């Protein structure tokens, strides 16, 4: 294919570097510097897709982020991406793309048949139908709607690319690298501030890249190059192109998506970060985000070849492409005339300028006249024709105020319609920053009002529509921003001589009247091209009582597309204002929501994937567990050994072996993950008194106590032992999963409720490795490792601790037990954990010491009726429910939860209470989570009496055991209870939860 629509010279493309690409299976050639859109236009391809509802042919409308139509499926296989705008794809060698949501192809799309039903498919029609018969909604209607919906396709493979995040602090962040943004960055940079300049395009220059201007001695390209060179030379200035500021949050926190490799051929992307999200905190932000041109709304304004005038100018000047050879311009302003003049200069033919204003004059108008271009003032386009490309327009004279026609129709043949309804400043980021907009009657647009953050605005965003204004406004904004962050701007350089045409005038003009009321007849006045929203839809919405602009948006879907209505919002608003007969500012705008343009999930996730999605915490003994075949359980962020199967062992066999070892000899558990909090200060004992339900003031130094803590509602939320290290110092242990929330809890109370208490809490979980040995031989093992330590029961009683040397390591040994056996928990500095563990294993070898994991730990404690918070409790369980009244102080004046114990429901006798269960058949192991009923033979809903919280096979008892919460359970011992499972009902007897060694004799070995 030849590039039949390429101009002979000019543009910012490199004509020496041809690039091969494929669109819809057809091969084409473009040039380096092209976008996919410009390269397709150079090859005469206008038809890129089909519309959402009616599947009408659609082409390229714009040249940038505002493009509503030309979404394509980019690439293939694992790196394919849906819905990328052709106007934002830098062309690269080997690029492949195809149209989305068409079948079998974009030229012949079967769903175009929807057009026949257009009269039915008005706004919100789906609310009014598809209700009969009811069953068909799920069977037929919705599946058909869903199949029709959506644009491109998600990849089916895992993304091979990598993404990352960066964080940056600067004094001045400038968003937008057009003339105003460049000047702002220059002013701030020269003042010495740290500056970041971001721009979404492949190169800086903004609107200047699309126009021919003389700035002093330089043309536009030379001026941009000079600016970029000076900025690049400044050490404290960071320049990011292909970088879109997409979100503006509180306190000048902005997020930027940098596309680092999307413009490169596949082979050059390997191993590189594809996209990066920058998190910027800026002292001052200069928004110089420019403006988007508005389309005009007229009958059948959606055919391929109907484009924005400024975009036509961009394709001509920046890309050396003629989007058409016979152009009609339709405008309500002078500025758009420049597109006609430039197209004519580049070899195209402008057949007519249709200007809806009745009086037109000015420098650009005169220039067009001088080129012998016919100007039809007081005219409008009232219809278009053409199949997959516009072929002609119908124009008529219209009355001032644009209510009625005053002449017969005239057909004008063309292959391109350039339109301009004026310019809308890109206020998205400004609005996200919570700034309010103000409507400017003269400039016919919303402008930023008073900023709500430390912020300046400049350039077209601020209504500065000429280059001269942009340069001056940009410099001022940059200098002001620098000054506000403590820098002294350099003296403003003399303004260069700028050659540019007078801006001329603009008259508001929102919709071309039809010969019949809007919506009647076959013609469609599109407002939102992407969602096929027409002016008739907006009228219908108002007719049906939707008046709020947010309702109109939701009912008609205008502005709800992937372009977020960049070209349609203001037209929709103005049309609504016309219907409601309210001024535009009274109608209000919809909320601009982040992101400004879509951002890939991959970039947002960055490196927070896999093991980095949540930190993996392992103990200092972890490697030993891995080498010795442990299977692991995730407990919060921790990896804990679950059990240690030997070769050929089932889980059941391994657990039996581990448990019996503890009961008969000695077992060893890595308990390092338990939360440990160092609590110090003169009020530490008083603090614990208030936090725990039991009394702490009299705990002797060197002694340990078990405690429960409750929330204010009296429900248990954590437990553990706490040791008194000194008069003013305690070491608290918490559950593994609850460590962080307990520390938060302590801090919340210290900081908000009891600031008068002098207490300091420090997490020391990862300062101490803990090895727990349990079993009748535990004492013998410890004796070998700590021959100096007096292990006699008199001098080292249960619930006490000793400091000393164990296996040559400085250690703190706690005599506590979670298994009911004689047990020591040996704490050593974290780094010594493995050394201790190996010493314990060596010393215990003669007793066949057996490592065990969390599952055996759970069985062993369940045999003893010890609770696990989060398993026997669920936020609705009091200490009394657990049969632990003994731990609730009756004497303390107050503690968290105390008040609640007297509340009527909390004190109720038939609450769910902890009991043991023994199944009728000893081999039946109830599923944990089984619900329990007193009478299984009643119809649903069956009143539930409780549920199984823990259930295991106990090797020591030679049968299954379970713990359960049962209504009034403490008074029901000996009664039968039933677990109705799927397929069968299991019967069990309610018993005391302590099922093994009821007298507690084994604690002493």
Return the residues of window 970-999 that contact other proteins according to CB under 8 A. Answer: 980-982
330-338, 546-554, 673-681, 701-709 -> range binding other proteins (CB under 8 A): 546-554
Q: Give whichever of 343 and 511 is closer to other proteins, judged by the CB atom.
A: 511
Nearer to other proteins, 827 or 877 (CB): 877
Longest Cα–Cα distance of the chain, Å, equals: 114
- What letter does residue 592 receive in the DSSP assignment? P
Angle at CA 893, nearest 5°, toward 892 and 898?
Answer: 80
Q: Which lies closer to other proteins via its Cβ, residue 467 or residue 896? A: 896
User: Which residue, 363 or 928, has its beta carbon nearer to other proteins?
Assistant: 928
Could you give phi then psi for residue 424, rounded to 5 degrees?
-110, 115
d(CA 982, CA 995): 28
Q: Which is nearer to other proteins, 889 or 900 (CB)?
A: 900
Which residues inside 865-904 make contact with other proteins, applying CB under 8 A? 870-871, 874-876, 900, 903-904
CB of 595 to other proteins, least distance (A): 6
Question: Segment contacting other proteins (CB under 8 A): 443-451, 595-603, 754-762, 803-811?
Answer: 595-603
When asked if residue 391 is in the footprint of other proteins (CB under 8 A), the reply is no
- What is the distance between the alpha carbons of residues 119 and 519, in angstroms, rounded to a whole number? 9
- Asked whether position 614 contacts other proteins by CB under 8 A, the answer is yes
Residues 522-541 that bind other proteins (CB under 8 A): 536, 540
Among the listed residues 164, 230, 507, 633, the single contact to other proteins using CB under 8 A: 633
- In angstroms, the Cα distances linking 448 to 66, 153, 434, 445, 460 are 19, 38, 10, 10, 11
Residue 880's closest CA among 710, 744, 760? 710
Torsions phi, psi for 963 (to 5 deg): -115, 150
Query: Rounded to an integer, what distance in angstroms lies between the CA atom of residue 551 and that of residue 359?
Result: 37
Number of residues interacting with other proteins: please give it, by CB under 8 A: 113
> What is the footprint of other proteins within residues 902-931 (CB under 8 A)?
903-907, 927-931
- Judged by DSSP in three states, 254 sits in strand
Q: Which of 611, 756, 788, 794 binds other proteins (CB under 8 A)?
A: 611
State which residue, 153 or 272, has the beta carbon closest to other proteins: 153
Query: Which range of residues in 630-638, 679-687, 770-778, 883-891 is near other proteins by CB under 8 A?
Result: 630-638
Quick one: DSSP state of residue 752? I
* Residue count (the chain): 1005
Output 241 or 562, the one with its CB closest to other proteins: 562
Rg (CA), the chain: 38
Burial of 704 (0-12, 13-18, 19+ CB in 10 A): buried
Q: Which of residues 198-227 bind other proteins (CB under 8 A)?
A: none
Q: According to CB under 8 A, which one of 547, 686, 992, 997 is a site residue for other proteins? A: 547
Q: Where are the alpha helices (DSSP H) in 191-336?
A: 220-233, 309-317
Shortest CB 929 distance to other proteins, Å = 3
Nearer residue to other proteins within complex by CB, 152 or 178:
152
Interface pick for other proteins out of 77, 235, 271, 545 (rule CB under 8 A): 545
Residue 527's nearest CA partner among 540, 514, 511 is 511
Beta-strand relationship, 375-377 and 349-355: parallel
Which range touches other proteins (CB under 8 A), out of 349-357, 388-396, 408-416, 936-944? 936-944
Nearest of 429, 455, 476 to residue 282 by alpha carbon: 455
Residues β-bridged to residue 633: 640
Counting contacts by CB under 8 A, is residue 555 touching other proteins? yes
Which burial class, exposed, middle or buried, applies to 941 when counting CB atoms under 10 A from its CB (0-12, 13-18, 19+)?
exposed
d(CA 441, CA 155): 47
Among 77, 941, 974, 983, binds other proteins (CB under 8 A): 941
Binding test (CB under 8 A) with other proteins, winner from 82, 449, 804, 1005:
82
For residue 997, give both structure tokens: 């060694």
| Beta strands 526-528; 533-534: pairing state | antiparallel
Give the whole-angstrom CA distance, residue 97 versus residue 726: 72
Q: What is the separation of C-alpha 193 from the centre of its chain, rounded to a whole number of angstroms?
A: 32
Query: What is the phi-psi region of residue 582: left when phi exceeds 0, alpha when psi lies from -120 to 50, beta otherwise?
Result: beta
Please give the helix or strand (H or E) that residue 653 lies within, else none: helix 651-664
Among positions 682-741, residues that touch other proteins (CB under 8 A) are 712-715, 737
Does residue 616 interact with other proteins by CB under 8 A?
yes
Shortest reach from residue 902's CB to other proteins, in Å: 9
Q: Using the rule CB under 8 A, is 934 a contact of other proteins? A: no
Nearer to other proteins, 127 or 406 (CB): 127
Contact (Cβ atoms closer than 8 angstroms) between residue 37 and residue 64 = no
What's the distance, CA 462 to chain centroid? 30
Q: Whole-number minimum distance, CB 737 to other proteins, in Å?
A: 8
| Residue 348: CB minimum distance to other proteins, A | 34
Q: Which of residues 90-109 bind other proteins (CB under 8 A)?
A: 101
| 673's tokens | 């993950």
Say if CB 802 and CB 690 are below 8 A apart: no
Give 625-652 as a DSSP string.
HHHTT-EEEEETTEEEEEE-PPTT--HH
Task: Report the residue number, 404 or 616, with the smaller CB distance to other proteins.
Answer: 616
274-293 binders of other proteins (CB under 8 A)? 277, 279
Closer CB to other proteins, 498 or 944, in the complex:
944
Find the binder of other proteins among 8, 156, 751, 752 (CB under 8 A): 156
Q: Which of 375, 635, 764, 957 binds other proteins (CB under 8 A)?
A: 635
546 near other proteins, rule: CB under 8 A: yes
By CB under 8 A, the residues from 228 to 267 that bind other proteins are 247, 249, 253, 255
The SS3 call for residue 162 is strand
318-357 positions binding other proteins, by CB under 8 A? none
Is 946 a residue that touches other proteins (CB under 8 A)?
Answer: no
Task: From 156-164, 306-314, 483-491, 572-580, give the range in contact with other proteins by CB under 8 A.
Answer: 156-164
485 CB-near residues (< 8 Å, 6+ apart): 171, 172, 193, 283, 284
Of 4, 94, 110, 150, which lies in the binding site for other proteins, with binding defined by CB under 8 A?
150
User: Could you say whether residue 942 binds other proteins (CB under 8 A)?
Assistant: yes
**Considering the complex, what minimum distance in angstroms separates the CB of residue 588 from other proteins?**
10
Instruction: Write out the binding residues for other proteins, residues 484-523 only, by CB under 8 A.
Output: 517, 519-520
H-state helical runs in 68-135: 125-128
In the complex with other proteins, which residue's Cβ is closer, 20 or 591?
591
Q: Is residue 544 a contact residue for other proteins (CB under 8 A)?
A: yes
Is the peptide bond prior to 595 cis by the omega test (within 30 degrees of 0)? yes
CA distance 161 to 607: 11
Show the site string, 815-854: x = touches other proteins by CB under 8 A, - = not.
Answer: ----------------------------------------
CA distance 689 to 338: 81
Judged by CB under 8 A, the residue of 325, 554, 703, 758 near other proteins is 554
Site for other proteins in 743-762 (CB under 8 A): none
Pick out residues in 43-72 that bind other proteins (CB under 8 A): none
| Shortest Å distance, C-beta 490 to other proteins | 35
Binding track, positions 110-149, relative to other proteins; x by CB under 8 A: ---------xx-x--xxxxxxxx-x--xx---x--xxx-x
């Amino acid at each position: 294919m030849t590039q039949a629509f390429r101009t002979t010279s000019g543009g910012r493309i490199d004509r020496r570097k041809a690039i091969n690409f494929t669109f819809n299976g057809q091969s084409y050639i473009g040039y380096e510097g092209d976008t996919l859109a410009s390269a397709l236009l150079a090859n005469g391809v206008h038809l890129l897709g089909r519309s959402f509802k009616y599947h009408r042919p659609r082409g390229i409308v714009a040249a940038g982020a505002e493009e509503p139509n030309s979404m394509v499926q980019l690439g293939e296989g694992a790196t394919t991406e849906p819905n990328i705008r052709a106007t934002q794809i830098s062309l690269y060698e080997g690029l492949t793309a195809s149209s989305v949501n068409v079948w079998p192809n974009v030229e012949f799309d079967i769903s175009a048949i929807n057009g026949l039903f257009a009269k039915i498919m008005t706004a919100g029609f789906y609310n009014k139908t598809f209700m009969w018969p009811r069953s068909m909604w799920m069977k037929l209607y919705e599946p058909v709607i869903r199949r029709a919906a959506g644009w491109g396709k998600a990849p089916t493979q895992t993304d091979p690319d990598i993404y990352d995040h960066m964080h940056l602090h600067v004094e001045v962040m400038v968003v937008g690298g057009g003339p105003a943004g460049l000047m702002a960055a220059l002013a701030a940079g020269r003042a010495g501030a740290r500056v970041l300049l971001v721009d979404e395009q492949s190169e800086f220059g903004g609107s200047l890249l699309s126009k021919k201007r003389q700035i002093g001695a330089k043309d536009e390209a030379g001026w941009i190059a000079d600016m970029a060179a000076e900025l690049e030379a400044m050490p404290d200035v960071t320049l990011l192109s292909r970088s879109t500021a997409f979100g503006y949050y509180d306190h000048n926190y902005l997020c930027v998506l940098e596309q680092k490799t999307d413009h490169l051929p596949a082979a050059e992307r390997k191993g590189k970060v594809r996209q990066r999200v920058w998190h910027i905190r800026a002292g001052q932000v200069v928004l110089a985000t420019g403006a988007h041109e508005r389309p005009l709304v007229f009958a059948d304004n959606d055919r391929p070849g109907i484009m924005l005038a400024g975009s036509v100018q961009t394709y001509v000047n920046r890309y050396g492409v003629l989007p058409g050879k016979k152009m009609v311009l339709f405008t309500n302003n002078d500025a758009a005339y420049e597109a006609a003049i430039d197209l004519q200069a580049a070899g195209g033919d402008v057949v007519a300028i249709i200007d809806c204003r009745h009086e037109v004059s000015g420098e650009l108008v005169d220039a067009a006249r001088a080129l012998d271009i016919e100007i039809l003032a007081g005219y409008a386009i009232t219809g278009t024709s053409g199949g997959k490309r516009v072929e002609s327009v119908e124009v008529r004279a219209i009355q001032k105020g644009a209510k009625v026609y005053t002449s017969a129709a005239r057909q004008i043949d063309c292959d391109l319609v350039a339109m301009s309804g004026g310019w809308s400043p890109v206020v998205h980021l400004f609005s996200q920053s919570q700034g309010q907009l103000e409507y400017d009657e003269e400039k016919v647009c919303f402008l930023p009002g008073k900023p709500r953050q430390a912020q300046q605005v400049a350039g077209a965003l601020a209504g500065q529509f000429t280059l001269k204004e942009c340069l001056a406004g940009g410099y001022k904004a940059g200098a002001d921003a620098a000054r506000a962050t403590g820098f002294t701007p350099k003296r403003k350089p003399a303004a260069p001589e700028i050659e540019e045409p007078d801006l001329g005038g603009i008259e508001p003009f929102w919709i071309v009247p039809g010969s019949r009321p809007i919506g009647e007849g076959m013609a469609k006045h599109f407002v939102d091209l992407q969602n096929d929203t027409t002016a008739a839809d907006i009228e219908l919405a108002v007719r049906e009582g939707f008046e709020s602009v947010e309702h109109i948006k939701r009912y008609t879907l205008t502005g709800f597309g992937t372009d977020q209505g960049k070209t349609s919002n203001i037209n929709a608003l103005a049309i609504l204002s016309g219907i409601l007969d309210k001024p535009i500012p009274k109608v209000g705008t919809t909320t601009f929501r982040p992101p400004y343009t879509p951002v890939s999930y991959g970039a947002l996730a960055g490196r927070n994937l896999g093991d980095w999605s949540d930190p993996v915490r392992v103990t200092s003994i972890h490697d030993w567990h891995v080498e010795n075949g442990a299977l692991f359980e995730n407990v919060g962020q921790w990896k804990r050994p679950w059990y240690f199967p030997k070769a050929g062992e089932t889980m059941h066999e391994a657990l039996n072996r581990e448990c019996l070892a503890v009961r008969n000899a000695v077992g060893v558990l890595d308990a390092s993950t338990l939360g440990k909090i160092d609590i110090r200060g003169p009020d530490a004992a008083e603090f614990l008194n208030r936090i725990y339900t039991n009394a702490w003031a009299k705990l002797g130094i060197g002694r340990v106590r078990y405690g429960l803590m409750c929330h204010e509602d009296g429900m248990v939320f954590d437990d553990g032992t706490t040791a008194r290290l000194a008069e003013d110092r305690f070491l608290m242990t918490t559950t593994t999963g609850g460590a962080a929330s307990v520390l938060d809890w302590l801090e919340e109370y210290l900081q908000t409720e009891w600031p008068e208490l002098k207490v300091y809490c420090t997490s020391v979980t990862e300062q101490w490795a803990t090895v727990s040995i349990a079993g009748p031989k535990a004492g013998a093992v410890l004796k070998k490792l700590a021959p100096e330590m007096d292990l006699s029961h008199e001098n080292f009683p249960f619930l006490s601790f000793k400091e000393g040397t164990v296996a040559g390591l400085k250690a703190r040994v706690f005599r506590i037990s979670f298994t009911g056996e004689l047990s020591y928990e040996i704490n050593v500095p974290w780094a010594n954990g493995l050394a201790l563990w190996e010493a314990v294993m060596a010393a215990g070898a003669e007793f066949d010491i057996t490592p065990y994991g969390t599952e055996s730990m759970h069985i062993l404690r369940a045999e003893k009726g010890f609770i696990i918070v989060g398993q026997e409790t669920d936020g609705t369980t009091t200490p009394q429910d657990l049969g632990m009244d003994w731990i609730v102080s009756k004497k303390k004046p107050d503690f968290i939860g105390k008040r609640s114990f007297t509340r009527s429901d909390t004190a109720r006798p038939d609450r769910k209470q902890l009991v043991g269960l023994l199944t009728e058949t000893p081999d039946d192991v109830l599923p944990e989570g089984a619900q329990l009923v007193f009478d299984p033979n009643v119809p649903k809903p069956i009143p539930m009496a409780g549920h199984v919280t823990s259930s295991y096979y106990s090797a020591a008892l030679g049968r299954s055991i379970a713990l359960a919460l049962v209504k009034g359970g403490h008074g029901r011992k000996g009664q039968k209870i039933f677990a109705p499972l799927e397929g069968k009902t299991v019967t069990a007897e309610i018993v005391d939860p302590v099922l093994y060694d009821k007298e507690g004799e084994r604690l002493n070995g």
